[in-house]
Amino acid sequence: MSARTITALLIFSTGAALLAGQSPNSNPLHRQYREGETLVYRMNGINETWHYSIQADGIVKKDPSGAFFEEYRWSKMETAGQPLPLSAQSSEFRQRLSLDPSQNPSVPDFAKVDPKLIGPIADFMTFYSDLWLAIKTGQLTKPGDHFYVPNGTPNSWADGSHVLLGQSAIDFDLTLKSIDKASQTAVLVVRHVPPAKSTIQLPAAWMQTPVGDRPNNWVGVQKEQDGKFTASVGEETFIDEIDLSLIDGKILKATMDNPVKTIERSCQDQALTQCSDPKSHVILRKIEIVLVQ
């Protein structure tokens, strides 16, 4: 599992940093749910050389406590214009998301889905988590309003066998970019940025040198089949732009620009001291969702 699929889940450690927020009626980003409402999103993704599209079909439901949520199923995945079949188990998977500020985001069980779905599920959750955080803080009410949520807590995607170390850490920088009263829409920009101080585990001295403008916030060490180790370190950022309806608060469209600037070395030892010369590599990902129904 990559850093980009886990970064969306960092939202869970921000709870202590949040303000109490405003009442729903005074928050222009508030989501007004209607039980039974259906939503269909089309996602287009570029993950370096892999281009794909996939559909998420959702319905608004209410749980026994009276809390609203959106339940999505994934289908119609395509790559290079050709259908890309998903496992039967994936067709039974349902992703629960909510913009209700009283409902904390929850991590889906990735073990129950086709590996090809992990990226789309996590990216979809990133958009919802960003908007949820903006609603939760209640600090964005007019164009230009800005709010910073320090987080910095490292998250891990290491599996202990192939990926021996995998960590990233981010802060959240939220801005209400615009409000268009004529079209009843707003634009939210959320930047996922490296913390001012590195909090990730950097096992080798050469990993301390910043790849970008801030301390490195992304690291990965993989054990290869030949017994060598591939070690990478760098700077990961997200810029998410979300267009939403001011009428009911649902997401109309959203884009994600997710570059990871890294240097990579092939190492003979797990301590990462006997390594090849560093090679620069930029991982580029772009994600777009559009409400089609």
User: Which residue did the predictor score with more confidence, 119 or 164?
Assistant: 164
Give residue 272's pLDDT: 97
Bigger pLDDT: 48 or 251? 251
pTM score, whole prediction = 0.84
pLDDT bin (cut points 50, 70, 90) of residue 288 is: very high
Residue ranges covered by each domain of the chain: 3-291
With pLDDT > 90 as the criterion, what percentage of the chain qualifies?
A: 68
pLDDT at 5: 39
**In which band, very low, low, confident or very high, does the pLDDT at 25 lie, cut at 50, 70 and 90?**
low
Classify burial at 28, counting beta carbons within 10 Å of its beta carbon; exposed 0-12, middle 13-18, buried 19 or more. middle
pLDDT of residue 153: 81
Residue with tokens 């913390």: 195
Residue closest to 260 by CA, chosen among 190, 198, 194, 202? 194
Distances 138 to 49, 75, 100, 204 between C-alpha atoms, Å: 39, 34, 12, 42
Tell me which of 3.40.1350, 2.30.230, 3.40.50, 2.60.40 is the CATH number of domain 3-291: 2.30.230
- What is the tally of helices (H) and strands (E) in the chain? 3, 15
Q: Evaluate whether 194 touches 170 at the Cβ level (below 8 Å).
A: yes
Q: How many residues are recorded in the chain?
A: 293
Predicted confidence (pLDDT) per residue in 181-202, tens digit: 999 999 999 999 999 888 899 9
pLDDT above 70 coverage of the chain, percent? 91
Q: Average of pLDDT values for 73-88?
A: 91
Q: Round to whole Å and give the CA distance between 247 and 183.
A: 10
Alpha helices in 206-259 (DSSP H): none
**For residue 210, how many other CB atoms are within 10 A of its CB?**
15
Its sign, for the CA torsion 255, 176, 215, 164, is negative
